A and B are shown apart, each in its own frame.
Chain A
Amino acid sequence: MPRIEAVDLAKRFGRITALEKCNLTIEDGEYVAILGPSGCGKTTLVKLLSGIWTPTEGRVLVDGKDVTDLGVEDRDLGYVFQNIVLFPHMDVWRNATYGPWVHDRAPADVDHVGKEVLELVKMLHERGMFPRELSMGSQQKVALARALANRARLLMLDEPLSALDTRVRLDLRYALRRIVKDLGLTAVHVTHDQEEAMSVADRVVVIRKGRIVEQGPPERLYNQPQDVFTANFVGESNFLEGAVRRIRADWAFVELRSGYILRVPAKGLLEGDPVVLAARPEWLTMSKEGFGNVIPGRIENRRFLGATERLQVRLFTSDLVSVDVPASQSLNTDRDVMVAFHETNILVYPRPYAGLQEALKLE
């Protein structure tokens, strides 16, 4: 059963470092998503893990065995690419059974495997169709079936859904996770889409500029991101800069611009610390009260988002924050409002040395 380890894995192209010393263990049967903006090194990582590229430094271990020098063809893994690569002149069945067939498996075996993998991706009925007759989503399902047909226990998914339409992508997410879990595979799934990463994986690894920024189960990453970059990249956040004015028991009182104060959990903070507070648009509410953890502001803009409406409120601290309210709770622009911050739903970070903008930059 495959357990993969990257030990001090690094890749450089000339002077450019694509991946800095990376240490990562993927447990047997685990579904891990590698998430990051384009050019962050996530594809490099998966190519090094699969043996498509050779690392400049470091080693790759599979079940404790050093496989660093083995090429991808000598490793026991299935690979699905963003660009769907099917043989255009072969039908669904021939495409799916290509692996077992070139490996000269007995015809009964080929037949058995083909039925099983096409059943898994729910494409058995289309077995006689050619790629050009299928939608993009169906083609990618066939590509997945083909990757599964070589019976590898390790599945590498390199932006497998990025070329597809939104709706199809949503349906395939469910399918991917179900198949990986039903078969008990170890899966590494590279994506730039935070929602996709969170809904398929047991653990999400966030990469930025060739380094692992943070990793953890999806819910922790969304609800308590440890790094300010993650708070912005995985879901949207509002950020407010300030400094700790005083600490009383478990609370820190943070002074924002124009002298407004918010109360936040004091964990690890000292008086005088420069901090960045973060809160997601759906964590903020409109308050009728003028006291407590509220900041007054004026609605500048409304955007219809379907079930919710996004209000952009210019706080009296001069920060612009987004607040998601139910679409039925209609509020007009130019109205003065109170925005309520909830103590347990505020994230607190030390203010980054290079500045907040730099710390949030996507590339």
Chain B
Amino acid sequence: MAEIVLERLSKFFGPKRALRDVDLRIRDGEYLVVLGPSGAGKTTLLRTIAGLLDPDGGRILMDGREVTRLPPYERQVAFMPQTYSLFQHMSVWENTTFSPTVKGWPEGERDLLAREMLSMVHLIDRREAFPRELSGGMQQRCALARALAADAEVLLLDEPLRALDARLRIELRAELRDLIRHVGTTTIHVTHDQEEALVLADRIAVLRNGELIEVGPAEMVYSRPSSPFVANFLGEMNFFEARSFPSEGGMVRLVAGDTNLLAPKREGLEGTVLAGIRAESCGVQAQEWAAGQGLEGVVKRRLFMGRRISLEVQTEQVGLFKAKPLTAQANWVKEGDPVFVVLPAEHILLFPVPKGGVAAALEVE
């Protein structure tokens, strides 16, 4: 097991800076998820830690030992790339047992380990198959089993669930988390999927344009994000400008058009602010039953998504508003219905108004 420290890690590709002075400490046994849009530098970060890319600046320490210039095989890391890199001439079983065999594990123990890993990824019945006989999702699961069976001190997983069917992905991510927690391997898992990050991570690190812009426990990054970008990346947000006035009990009063809303106070913010609330935090009621604080509007679009219903509501005060209430609570809503969108005070987030405008602050790249 190992603690990893990154100090001012930088990487250039020609003139383009892929990583900018990344400082990060990953605890021994921690499950860190690196989240960010495509092109943010996530894969570059993993490849640098794996030793497959040389950084242009900064240091990498594992358990206090500097490994910045060490070749990959001297780092005790197992890297699962997005391309899987399975051995094409070896079966699923041989791929999975490769690393323990090379390390000279006793056969009995090796087989037990491989069997356990292949069962977890639901490939035990296909252990005789060769990679070319497997679907993309199965190849990915085989690569995951191989990485897990490598018994490394550090696991580096690059979008390990991306090629899987939606339903299987949900099943496997829970199992993956339980298994790695149990084994206690330090893990860095890269993804662009916010739900995956929330479910798996001890801490989430958000990368944008090569910069580490936020790091914290999943609940904190979700509930108290430091910027509109992070807020929106962890769950679709509604943003609107409002004037903020002092109120009581750690709250402020927001005025947007003719609407008054209470929101938790944020130190150092006064005057005009950017207020935001997640679509999934908004409830919906019939206007005649309206209670609590919120906005009146007319439903322009309704999309059924299963667990939730996705609504776009045209409001007078703040324009088009998105709400994703649970189906059980909003099954009755139809397009054209007048509704009351409930905005619970505790879910409203406040930010300074971004200088370049909201759109630019949210731009994925």
Q: How far is the CA of A193 from the CA of B301 in the complex (A)?
A: 21
Is A234 engaged at the interface, CB distance under 8 Å to the other chain?
yes
Interface size on B, residues (CB 8 A): 41
A282, B38: Cβ atoms closer than 8 Å: no
A199, B303: Cβ atoms closer than 8 Å: yes
Q: Compute the total of residue contacts between A and B using a CB distance below 8 Å.
A: 93
B305, A166: Cβ atoms closer than 8 Å: no
Task: Give which listed residue, A174, A196, A328, contacts B346 with CB less than 8 A.
Answer: A328
- Chain B 245-274, CB-CB to A under 8 Å as 1, else 0, gives 000000000000000000000000000000
Task: Give which listed residue, B38, B195, B310, B364, contacts A199 with CB less than 8 A.
Answer: B310
Shortest Cβ distance from A177 into B: residue: B303
- Chain B 274-286, CB-CB to A under 8 Å as 1, else 0, gives 0000101100000
Task: Give which listed residue, B166, B306, B326, B346, contacts A192 with CB less than 8 A.
Answer: B166
Is B213 engaged at the interface, CB distance under 8 Å to the other chain?
no
B167, A280: Cβ atoms closer than 8 Å: no
Shortest Cβ distance from B174 into A: residue: A303
Q: How far is the CA of A166 from the CA of B222 in the complex (A)?
A: 17
Given contacts A37-B168, A166-B193, contact A306 B234 (CB under 8 A): yes
Most chain A beta carbons < 10 A, residue from B198, B234, B301, B303 = B303
Interface size on A, residues (CB 8 A): 40
Is A165 engaged at the interface, CB distance under 8 Å to the other chain?
yes
Given contacts A199-B305, A219-B304, A282-B307, contact A193 B194 (CB under 8 A): no
Task: Give which listed residue, B194, B281, B307, contacts A235 with CB less than 8 A.
Answer: B307
Q: How far is the CA of A283 from the CA of B326 in the complex (A)?
A: 10
Given contacts A283-B328, A306-B234, A307-B281, contact A362 B306 (CB under 8 A): no
A198, B135: Cβ atoms closer than 8 Å: no
- A302 CB to nearest B CB, Å: 10
Shortest Cβ distance from A363 into B: residue: B122
Given contacts A136-B38, A165-B192, A306-B195, contact A38 B165 (CB under 8 A): yes
- Which residues of B299-330 have CB atoms within 8 Å of chain A's CB atoms? 301, 303-307, 310, 326-328
- A207 CB to nearest B CB, Å: 13
Given contacts A235-B307, A305-B199, contact A194 B167 (CB under 8 A): yes
A307, B37: Cβ atoms closer than 8 Å: no
Task: Give which listed residue, B137, B235, B306, contacts A306 with CB less than 8 A.
Answer: B235
B307, A280: Cβ atoms closer than 8 Å: yes
Q: List 20 A-B contacts (CB under 8 A).
A: A37-B167, A37-B168, A38-B135, A135-B38, A165-B37, A165-B38, A170-B236, A198-B306, A199-B303, A199-B310, A219-B304, A222-B327, A234-B306, A283-B328, A305-B198, A306-B194, A306-B195, A307-B281, A345-B328, A362-B167
- Additional A-B contacts beyond A198-B305, A222-B306, A306-B198 (4; CB < 8 A): A192-B165, A192-B167, A233-B167, A305-B195
Which residues from chain B sit less than 8 Å from chain A, CB to CB? 37-38, 122, 135, 137, 165-168, 170-171, 174, 192-195, 198-199, 218-219, 222-223, 234-236, 278, 280-281, 301, 303-307, 310, 326-328, 331, 346, 364
Which residues from chain A sit less than 8 Å from chain B, CB to CB? 37-39, 135-136, 165-167, 170, 173-174, 177, 192-196, 198-199, 218-219, 222-223, 233-236, 280, 282-283, 303-307, 327-328, 345, 362-363
